[in-house]
Chain A
Amino acid sequence: MTTTRELVLNTEPFLLNIGPVHPSTHGVYRMRATLDGEVVIDIEPVFGYLHRGIEKLMEERSYTGCIPLTDRLDYVSSMTNNLGYCMAVEKLAGIKVPEHAEYIRVIAAELQRIANHCLAIGAMLNDAGALGTPFFYLWREREKIYDLLEMLCGQRLMHNYMRIGGVSQDMPEEFLPALKKLIIQWQRFIEEFDFFLKQNEILIARAKGVGVLSRELAINCGISGPVARASGIKRDLRKDDSYLIYDRFKFDIPTGENGDCYDRYRVRIEEMRQSLRILEQARKQVPEVPAKAELPHLVHPPAGEAYAHIEAPKGELGFYIVSDDSIAPYRCHVRPTSLINLTALREMVRGWKVADLIIIFGSIDITMGEVDR
């Protein structure tokens, strides 16, 4: 609901710099907010503090050597970044991925999606003022996922697991039993987490109706991912432009109606449930015989260009690669999900108070690694 204030006092707006060093955990992002008392009138974003020149660096390295660089784009969910890049190069070079590797890719991507949503919800609730309790619960469960990912590839954060034409190494034999236990424990945890927080009156008062992103604005700005789905746009690349083997699995796409912070939080929780469904189906269907893939060591695609996009946890992540018949890409451009989702922040925030600004910014779920590259 929107109200108009009658100004009894003649007030002047002032400039407040919400600096790059934040109490919230979203990276180095600077907002210059024009406030009138508590009410936000306008914000001006300043970013670029984390620019490392990843796209330029990619021109100097071989195709396989670029994969560690794509890890560092959205540093929270590395598997999906690797996946997008590898799919783009495979499209360019016409390489076919064996089936066993595709199953492993799907399992890794869905595990990464759950882990990313844990971080997103935990950080948003931390900004809302719950002194870390939901954050700690989610983080404990995220540890279980990271143990599994560490078992696959050896590191917890910069995975560097996907290769062009498959994955780097096969799953160890204790992976699938551990995955089974994880799915059972996670299903119990999501029920407990919903019981904990879904009907909490203070959260509903803070997040319901706050920061509404209308459907038209979302489509015009090119928003994708859970933010768009919460505004009512039913679009998910896993179903609309199906890649890998997602067409073999049965899952739903959760959407919200209003597009406020509460809907974004609900959409992420429902997406975690659907990812658990996909994981359960994938675990049962993994083919027994691992296929040995023919991976060329130095990938040498023919000259041309290709664009591949995937449904990363934050939205639509795309890689556009131009090759000129050498061992390094001529140009590689990343469609940064977080940056494009951030363009709607200004419209979402006007008229709300400072405390709402923080929670709205947390609910969009950005990572500065992707914004600045």
Chain B
Amino acid sequence: MKFENYGIGIIKGMAVTISHLFRHPTVSQFPEQRLNISRRSRGNELVWSREKCTGCATCAKACPQGAIEIITSTNLKENKYEVEKYKVDTGYCIQCGLCVEACPYDALFMGYSYERAKYRRNDLIQADDELLESPERPVSGYFHPEIAEKLPKQTLLVEKVTEKRKQE
């Protein structure tokens, strides 16, 4: 006679639950404790470098959404394109990172910050100088290993099994 279903399953379950009462909960108290996000994070924004950009528009061709608009004119004296307008509709962008991968001159970076919400939808369309790198708009190391090495390491839950109250 096999004895089963007499309540032992329930008792085992309750033993597991009560043992969790004595462990640290895996909770981090935002905004006092902030964890580091991935070094290759594909954040909300696109960062453009005016010096390196040549106006080849490979990024605009690679974007699946068509969110990048580039207007260039020729500069016959210095024999290169001059970028008049570089406009990105970040509301339309899906943060796939294909433009960063496509750029042959390393002029594009994904953003690293994540608290960059705007109040109006029109503010999401960013052009020219709003797209440059600045302290509020750090760059992430997606597809740029030399930048990724300088960013802080990502906090992993496998390393921190218990979460302390104060951030160290």
| A and B in contact, CB less than 8 Å | yes
Binding site for B on A (CB under 8 A): 61-62, 64-69, 133, 140, 143-144, 147-148, 150-155, 158, 160, 168-169, 172, 174, 178, 181-182, 185, 192, 195-204, 297
Indicate if B21 sits at the interface (CB-CB under 8 A). no
Closest to B58 in A: A297
Q: How far is the CB of B9 from chain A (nearest CB, A)?
A: 3
Contact pick for B101, options A140, A168, A195, CB 8 Å: A168
- Asked if A185 and B161 make an inter-chain contact with CB atoms under 8 angstroms apart, the answer reads yes
Chain A proximity mask over B24-40: 1 for CB below 8 Å, otherwise 0: 00100000000001111
The docked-state distance in angstroms from the alpha carbon of A102 to that of B142 is 21
Contacts of A148 in B (CB 8 A): 156, 158
Q: For the complex, is B153 an interface residue (Cβ under 8 Å from A)?
A: yes
Among candidates A68, A197, A202, residue contacting B96 with C-beta atoms closer than 8 Å: A68
B51 within 8 A of A: no
Q: Report whether over half of chain B's contact residues are helix, strand or loop; otherwise say mixed.
A: loop
From residue A338, how far is it (CB to closest CB) to chain B in Å?
A: 23
User: In the bound complex, what is the Cα–Cα distance between A201 and B16 (angstroms)?
Assistant: 15
**Is B83's beta carbon under 8 Å from chain A?**
no
Q: Could you tell me the distance between the alpha carbons of A160 and B94 in the complex, rounded to whole angstroms? A: 11
Taken together as a complex, chains A and B put the C-alpha atoms of A147 and B36 apart, in Å, by 11
Enumerate B54-106 residues with CB–CB distance to A below 8 Å. 62-64, 94-98, 101-102
> Which residues from A are CB-within-8-Å of B42?
153-155
Query: Do A154 and B158 have beta carbons less than 8 Å apart?
Result: no
7 residue pairs, one from A and one from B, having the closest CB atoms: A199-B9, A65-B64, A154-B40, A68-B96, A196-B16, A200-B9, A154-B42
With A65-B64, A66-B64, A199-B9: A178-B159 Cβ-Cβ less than 8 Å: yes
- Name the contact of A200 in the complex, choosing from B10, B26, B101, B159 (C-beta under 8 A): B10
The distance in angstroms between the C-alpha atoms of A67 and B95, with both chains bound, is: 12
Please, could you name 18 A-B residue pairs with CB atoms under 8 Å apart, sorted by A? Answer: A62-B62, A64-B98, A68-B94, A68-B96, A140-B157, A147-B154, A151-B39, A154-B97, A168-B101, A169-B40, A172-B148, A178-B158, A181-B159, A185-B161, A197-B13, A198-B9, A199-B4, A200-B10
